Structure 1
Amino acid sequence: MPQRPGEERTTQLPPVNRPPQREPDLLTHREPEDEFLLAGVDDDEDEYYDDEPELTEEEERRLRKKKIWKRVRIGAFVALGLMILGPVIAVAVAYPLVDWPRPDEVAASQDKTITLLYSDGSEMGKITSPGQNRTMLTYEEIPDTVKHAVLAAEDANFYENPGFDAKAILRAVWIQATGGSSGGSGLTQQYIKKATGNEDPTLTRKFTEVVKAFKMSNESDHNTILTAYLNTVYFGRGANGFKAAAQVYYKKEMKDLTPSEAALIAAMIQTPSWSEDKAYSQKQWKYVMGQMLQKKWIDQAYYDSQQWPEPLSFGDNQPGGLEGPLARVSQQVQDEMDSEMVGITMEKAQKVGVTIHTTIDPKMQQAATDAVNTVMEGQDPELRTSLSAIDPQSGAVRAYYPGKDGLKGIDYAKGTIQEAGSSFKPFDLVAALKMGKGIGDTYDATPRTIAGVPIRNASNTTCGKQCTIRQAMKESLNTVFYDMVASPNGTGTKAVADAAHAAGIPKTVVVNGKAQETLVGEGGNPPNAGISIGADNAQVRPFDMASAFATFAARGMYREPFFITKVQGPNGDILYQHADKAVPAFDPVEEKSRDIADNVTETLKEIPAYSRIPCANNRECAGKTGTHELPDSVDQNSKAWMVGYTPQLSASVWVGKDQGNKPIKDKNGKAIFGSGLPGQIWKKFMDAALSGMPVEKFAKPKPLGNFNPPKPSNTLSNTPSNTPSNTPSNTPSAPVSTEPTRPSDNPCFPLKCPPSTSGRPKPGDPDPNPTP
């Protein structure tokens, strides 16, 4: 009978002999090493079969390693692909979205007028660009000399790259990765960067710049790009475009420039704010000339025959505007804009058209000009002077008179260094106070040999074998301060230099375009002992002395002097705001620094009145006169100083000549001392500048060391440091006296002895401070 489906008999299959299998463990029963092995197995790649033999530990290790390397290879291929395709894709995406700046539009955004304001908000003047209202030059109008110089300076292979130099970029990346500093921008990239004003050190900016440069190269030719560059790039001195630069550097048309002159202007492109740094300019010029020689744009004979083509002085070819001392104020403002203190740069400021709020007080600036003009009227026309005034409580420069000739002459405040004479002695005292001395300590003040050098004093001292530091400062006694520094138990010269640097004398200054260290001896060694009386290595800028004495006025707190309080954009937005940064000068502990400064002020308070230049209205003021005597002279001086202060204002006045080795005399033919012309200028300025301001007194000092004079005794001396040092010093640098001693038993020789022993000079007597 037929069977229905599903009703057929089934036959039992014979049993399969399998090895008994172990029942799987629960997850909670697994051993840790099992978990590790299971973690290394990829379920989606290797299916687990119960009947496969178990792998040994070594086999498991090899399997894991094989899988890891497989993943590494895949990742590497993916990364390599992204490295190759990523930039291509990024450029393809960015290319239609970016546009390069057109030169006519760039030129229209340049050369904006900058407005300068006094501290009270009134207008001082304007800074205009020498390139204002300029016309765009064509490629044919630009001489080959100029083209070659710029290409040599910025991109010698410009005509051979597509808007960027890949090799240069890779080289720059390598240098920066290995700790160096380099840029990889070609000329087209430089144009993009300068035209947009975006110089942020970011990868995004650099990428966008490369894309714009590439697009500019595709849409215009190399000649057009070079022309755009030469019409718009900034060359320093306020000049945008090479045509304007030729005027401010050499007062020439471009076609009249020599290859050497063109090379110097082109050399300023990289760092235009350093255009007045002579050493930098020479170095960059030499590099550009070398590139031009290598490219055969000049021949070897021309290269060998050339000397650095010194440009005209900064002020000779500046456009009309501020004149006289205010022209120098404008220059200081521009330098500060380009400095790290502000960091906006004049190049950016000209594109925006900013308003700069300066620190200059119009009343005080006028007081400075009036004081100089009044006192110097009828004097020797070869005499030069400067006056700098600083607010001790902020560091703000309130008045700046660097000479009457403005930009056409020398800046006698910050552009010259001179021996400070006795006005340097307060720094000796700072060093002595730091080593435990007090203003009541006594020294032998008689003319004598100290550390192997003959030292003498002025003629009218009342001190002898026992003279306190306080009285020695008042009478400006060389022997006391030379002994204080140079004797075996003295402070040493480095301590004095350190004190001056801490107070505000910069360690490096730029004079005549050349950087030089201050207060150092030959070969970078400590200064010689002449520094104790402001001679030899004690050469400083007059402006810096006002800053250093402001630190005494501020009770030991140093503030860097500045000319700019605020910079505003055209819409009134604040682009920069000065912030007060005060630091203790003479000790990291503010209280100790304050005590040192107060003790110094205590010794300087009597000097203005003693020198017949007291402040008006019984106003307390402190200061120090100083002179530098000509070598091999009896009473002829080459420089004279007065530096002094109140709690509200510090001012420095210097008088000298362009030739530092010429005697300075007043209109009556008499030698000029610190209390003479400089002191008179200082007094007139301070009285007028402080008129109407509250009369403030100096703080009472906390006594340091032996503060009070010793009680009278029958001994010649009561301090270990007042015995004459008649044996040569063991110090490595032997000092040289700038006031040679004449062989005489008369301690007043060669100056006339005073008619009285009161110590108070009478009318017609020699200046009480005729020492250096």
Structure 2
Amino acid sequence: MGRAEARRARERETRNARKAGKAGRAGQLKGVRRFFTWKKVLGTFTGLCLLVIGAFYAVYVMTPVPEANAEAKLQSNVYKYSDGSILARTGKLNREIVPLSEIPRDVQLAFVAAENKSFFKDSGVDLKGTARGLLNTVMGKGKQGGSTITQQYVKNYYLSQDQTLSRKLKELVISLKVDGEKSKDEILAGYINTSYYGRGAYGIQAAAQAYYGVDAAELTLAQGAYLAALLQAPNQYDWAIASEKGKAMATDRWHYTLKNMVEEGWLEESARAELEFPVPDAPKAAPGMEGQTGYLVEAANAELAAQGISEEDIEAGGWTITLNIDKKRQQALEQAVDQELEAKLDRTGDKKHATVQAGATSVDPETGEVVALYGGTDATEHWLSNATRRDYQPASTFKPVVLASALENEAVTQDGDPITLNTIYDGDSRRPVEGSDTPFAPENINDQHHGPITVQEATDNSVNSVYAQMIVDVTPAETKKTALAMGMEDGAGWPERPAMSLGTMNASTWDMAGVYATLGNHGKKVAPTIVKSAEHQLREPVLKDAVGGQAISRETADTVTAALRSVVEKGSGQAAAGGYQAAGKTGTSENNKTAWYAGYTPKLVTVVGLFGEKPDGTGQVTLTDTINEGRANGGGIPAGIWKAYTSAALGADAGAAFDLEVKEPAAPQPPPSAPQSVAPSPSTDAPAPPPEPEPDPSTSASTSPSPSTTESADPSPSQSSSSAPRPSQSSPSSPAQPGRPAEQGGYGFRP
């Protein structure tokens, strides 16, 4: 065989092999296709669909529309004192059903626009939204949106609020049935009348009264749109208690509702442009919450809400809530306020007297239990609790936090000397601080020049210039960290500037009681708690511990306590002294809008505040010339209330002694000569208020003498600087004060 024939033979073999391979593969594919033809796949899919449809139909048939619960099983909540005696019973459902015909048509449409634009056209369910909700429930992502108005009505009226797979399936089936059995108007009326709006209001009639003081029939479109927007997050969007973020979200939701109305042709764009956001009225306590009861119940509810039990859950009833409030101490606190303040006021006949508000919080420093609380004259007349409100400045009650931060951070002066109770500062009024990018030159009480003065003496007499420099030395940022670690709340009013040393942020008596309890508990953080236990037949919440770990070291806390004992013994807090060991600090804010006394014994911490408020509650006013001529001060009425209460409340604990481990301070050095100090004016806690307008000390950029002050020191014998030692810091010289040697600089003295 020739080579040509051999080559052709090999080519034939190759072609035959390829044909055989293709035939084999074709055979394999033909075998697979016998089992998975498109007809069989389609048939299987159709069968599965029919099976699902059949199962759903079976569920649909077997699931009846249940009897309406309509919150019929609601129970009262029982609130008890710590000894188990009854404080209050609440839980009566605040709802009045009104027919849809009494609700303005544009308000009805606002609810549809906010929640379910397709309501009038859909079949009662949103399959996509429901599927998403089911998936999220299975995956454990919790509550999700997407339900139609019909579904929400079914959930409120027939079912529970549980986020379970079975409940969601029932909601879907019953919604389809209800949509077929009831008219859209009936469903819309049921939805509007059963929804929860916050403030204890169920239904639009109760909500209209709670937020705007009108009947549902009198609601404007703007008001109705807010109530419709509110349903998404009642607690978060309630204007009276919402954060700035919450208010922004509520406003956005309101605009969203109106935009949808325009898009649906239910509202003219020109009419939309004329609408303004309707700020709701301040909330009012429910009947039966008279006196201090309403404040105590509200504080307990707020604490439970902060620990994960929603206001809606509490309003649903069935709770037995025991408070830490000691009935005898609560009565003692109320009597102290009546005796030391209310007996001296004529609230109805004197407009100035009507502006004075008092608040107080008393805490056991070892346990963090709030044993007594004073929220105001009457919870049904002044709804906002003066004990927990955070819209006033704590003033110089913040100075111990500055001292604690300096000690804890082992801060040093501008000259590098460690800060102790014996460290010398220049205590002259209006002395510019050194080392700060923000100029600040605060005025002392009565514009008094103390010259060289120890930290202890500056604490006794609440010398602004010393603490302004101290916060620069430790830095405002570090001081803020210490404040937050000790329990103060972060938020607006915390610019990290020297003026922060004068307590220019906002805080409540509750907050400051936690700070001082942390000091009294040797530096362990104390978060005041008013709830002792919360019991419910269906759930058992886990409450957080009131006492945590070390916020600051024991030495730091005890050293501050030692400094504040001196304030009571010979400083601005002498009016609080009694038959017990005590430590404390006075405070008076800028323009005399607040006057504070924060003090503690080894067994009891109490913070008392007076607040100047317009009688209608719309703004802050000065306390000057109200309870006495001139300025109110923390060493006056607040210290008097504190002493009267503490004397009655301590009982057998009156003999307790502080167990302190203080940091060993360096001994002060005597000065080369003693400067003269300006004589104090009559007993006040801070200089007279300056003329309007006044600069904000937290933002002032002037190095000139400050025209206003934020302090609170009552003149006392220890204010004399005739024996003051030499400052350990120096600075560029400033103009000499009268009676001071010309060579003495503005910060320290040089021999």
Bin the TM-score by the shorter chain.
0.7 to 0.9
1:300 aligns with: 269
Q: Distance in 1 between matches of 2:20 and 2:299?
A: 82
Return the offset for 1:63: 11
CA contact (8 A) 2:329 2:372 kept: yes
Q: Distance in 1 between matches of 2:214 and 2:88?
A: 27
Q: Partner of 1:613: helix, strand, or coil? A: helix
Larger Rg over CA atoms: 1
Q: Distance in 2 between matches of 1:117 and 1:184?
A: 40
Verify: 1:651 aligned to 2:612, yes or no: no
1:108 aligns with: 72
Return the offset for 1:450: 2.0
Q: Distance in 2 between matches of 1:561 and 1:73?
A: 72
Number of residue pairs the alignment of both structures matches: 642
Verify: 1:454 aligned to 2:441, yes or no: yes
Return the offset for 1:324: 3.1
Return the offset for 1:599: 2.5
Q: Partner of 1:224: helix, strand, or coil? A: helix
Q: Partner of 1:584: helix, strand, or coil? A: strand
Return the offset for 1:660: 4.3
Return the offset for 1:263: 1.9
2:404 aligns with: 430
1:210 and 1:220, CA in 2 relative to 1: closer, same or farther beyond 3 A? same
* Alignment-mate amino acid for residue 312 of structure 1: D
Verify: 1:624 aligned to 2:585, yes or no: yes
* Alignment-mate amino acid for residue 253 of structure 2: Q
* Alignment-mate amino acid for residue 665 of structure 2: N
Work out which of the residue numbers 534, 541, 557 in structure 2 matches 1:576. 541
Verify: 1:325 aligned to 2:292, yes or no: yes
1:362 and 1:207, CA in 2 relative to 1: closer, same or farther beyond 3 A? same
Verify: 1:228 aligned to 2:190, yes or no: yes
2:456 aligns with: 470
2:518 aligns with: 551
**Aligned residue runs from structure 1 range 150-161, under 5 A:** 150-161=111-122
Scaled by the length of structure 2, the TM-score of the pair is 0.75
Verify: 1:356 aligned to 2:321, yes or no: yes
CA contact (8 A) 1:629 1:739 kept: no
* Alignment-mate amino acid for residue 549 of structure 2: P
* Alignment-mate amino acid for residue 236 of structure 1: G
1:98 and 1:564, CA in 2 relative to 1: closer, same or farther beyond 3 A? farther
Q: Distance in 2 between matches of 1:555 and 1:542?
A: 20
Shifted more, 222-231 versus 620-629: the winner is 222-231
1:207 aligns with: 169
1:314 and 1:59, CA in 2 relative to 1: closer, same or farther beyond 3 A? farther
Verify: 1:417 aligned to 2:377, yes or no: no
CA contact (8 A) 2:577 2:643 kept: yes
Q: Distance in 1 between matches of 2:359 and 2:212?
A: 28
Return the offset for 1:675: 0.7
CA contact (8 A) 2:523 2:554 kept: yes
Q: Distance in 2 between matches of 1:596 and 1:56?
A: 93
Return the offset for 1:267: 2.1
Verify: 1:598 aligned to 2:567, yes or no: no
1:85 and 1:622, CA in 2 relative to 1: closer, same or farther beyond 3 A? farther
2:736 aligns with: none
Q: Partner of 1:406: helix, strand, or coil? A: coil
**Aligned residue runs from structure 1 range 137-176, under 5 A:** 137-140=98-101, 142-169=103-130
CA contact (8 A) 1:614 1:683 kept: yes
1:728 aligns with: none
Q: Distance in 2 between matches of 1:518 and 1:180?
A: 35
1:557 and 1:78, CA in 2 relative to 1: closer, same or farther beyond 3 A? farther
1:351 and 1:200, CA in 2 relative to 1: closer, same or farther beyond 3 A? closer
1:608 and 1:139, CA in 2 relative to 1: closer, same or farther beyond 3 A? same
Verify: 1:710 aligned to 2:693, yes or no: no
Work out which of the residue numbers 543, 549, 569 in structure 2 matches 1:609. 569
CA contact (8 A) 1:314 1:407 kept: no
* Alignment-mate amino acid for residue 396 of structure 1: E
Return the offset for 1:501: 1.3
Q: Distance in 2 between matches of 1:646 and 1:56?
A: 102
CA contact (8 A) 2:460 2:567 kept: yes
Q: Distance in 2 between matches of 1:70 and 1:621?
A: 94
1:622 and 1:138, CA in 2 relative to 1: closer, same or farther beyond 3 A? same
Q: Partner of 1:664: helix, strand, or coil? A: coil
Q: Partner of 1:576: helix, strand, or coil? A: coil
Return the offset for 1:143: 4.4
Q: Distance in 2 between matches of 1:468 and 1:491?
A: 17
Return the offset for 1:215: 3.0
1:82 and 1:251, CA in 2 relative to 1: closer, same or farther beyond 3 A? farther
Return the offset for 1:498: 1.4
Return the offset for 1:666: 5.5
2:256 aligns with: 287
Work out which of the residue numbers 372, 375, 378 in structure 1 matches 2:344. 378
Return the offset for 1:625: 0.9
Q: Partner of 1:121: helix, strand, or coil? A: coil
Q: Distance in 2 between matches of 1:260 and 1:612?
A: 55
1:101 and 1:370, CA in 2 relative to 1: closer, same or farther beyond 3 A? farther
Verify: 1:341 aligned to 2:293, yes or no: no
* Alignment-mate amino acid for residue 432 of structure 2: T
Return the offset for 1:56: 12
Q: Distance in 1 between matches of 2:41 and 2:368?
A: 59
Q: Distance in 1 between matches of 2:32 and 2:120?
A: 49
Q: Distance in 2 between matches of 1:120 and 1:310?
A: 42
CA contact (8 A) 1:354 1:567 kept: yes
Work out which of the residue numbers 625, 630, 646 in structure 2 matches 1:686. 646
Q: Unaligned stretches of 5+ in structure 1? A: 1-52, 509-516, 522-526, 588-592, 631-636, 718-731, 743-749, 761-772
Q: Deviations along 1:492-540, whole A, 9 cap, x unmatched?
A: 11111111111111113xxxxxxxx342x2xxxxx21111232xx4332
Q: Distance in 2 between matches of 1:67 and 1:565?
A: 74
Q: Distance in 2 between matches of 1:506 and 1:62?
A: 76
Q: Distance in 2 between matches of 1:735 and 1:475?
A: 26
* Alignment-mate amino acid for residue 558 of structure 1: K
1:450 and 1:496, CA in 2 relative to 1: closer, same or farther beyond 3 A? same
Q: Distance in 1 between matches of 2:21 and 2:120?
A: 65
Q: Distance in 2 between matches of 1:264 and 1:387?
A: 34
Q: Deviations along 1:136-183, whole A, 9 cap, x unmatched?
A: 555555543443232222222122222211244467789999x99951
1:432 and 1:753, CA in 2 relative to 1: closer, same or farther beyond 3 A? closer
Q: Deviations along 1:30-64, whole A, 9 cap, x unmatched?
A: xxxxxxxxxxxxxxxxxxxxxxx9x9999999999
Scaled by the length of structure 1, the TM-score of the pair is 0.73
Return the offset for 1:425: 0.9
1:464 and 1:240, CA in 2 relative to 1: closer, same or farther beyond 3 A? same
Q: Distance in 2 between matches of 1:252 and 1:246?
A: 6
**Aligned residue runs from structure 1 range 532-551, under 5 A:** 532-534=501-503, 537-551=504-518
**Aligned residue runs from structure 1 range 123-134, under 5 A:** 123-129=86-92, 131=94, 134=96
* Alignment-mate amino acid for residue 441 of structure 2: P
Verify: 1:639 aligned to 2:594, yes or no: yes
* Alignment-mate amino acid for residue 365 of structure 1: Q
* Alignment-mate amino acid for residue 655 of structure 1: L
What is the percent sequence identity of the aligned residues? 26
Q: Unaligned stretches of 5+ in structure 2? A: 1-16, 346-351, 412-418, 614-618, 675-697, 724-751
Q: Distance in 2 between matches of 1:756 and 1:553?
A: 26
Q: Distance in 1 between matches of 2:581 and 2:326?
A: 22
CA contact (8 A) 1:170 1:184 kept: no
1:268 aligns with: 230
Verify: 1:479 aligned to 2:470, yes or no: no
Q: Distance in 1 between matches of 2:323 and 2:221?
A: 40
1:62 and 1:403, CA in 2 relative to 1: closer, same or farther beyond 3 A? farther
Q: Distance in 2 between matches of 1:574 and 1:201?
A: 15
Q: Distance in 2 between matches of 1:554 and 1:56?
A: 92
CA contact (8 A) 2:359 2:387 kept: yes
1:668 and 1:273, CA in 2 relative to 1: closer, same or farther beyond 3 A? closer
1:606 and 1:557, CA in 2 relative to 1: closer, same or farther beyond 3 A? same
Q: Partner of 1:545: helix, strand, or coil? A: helix
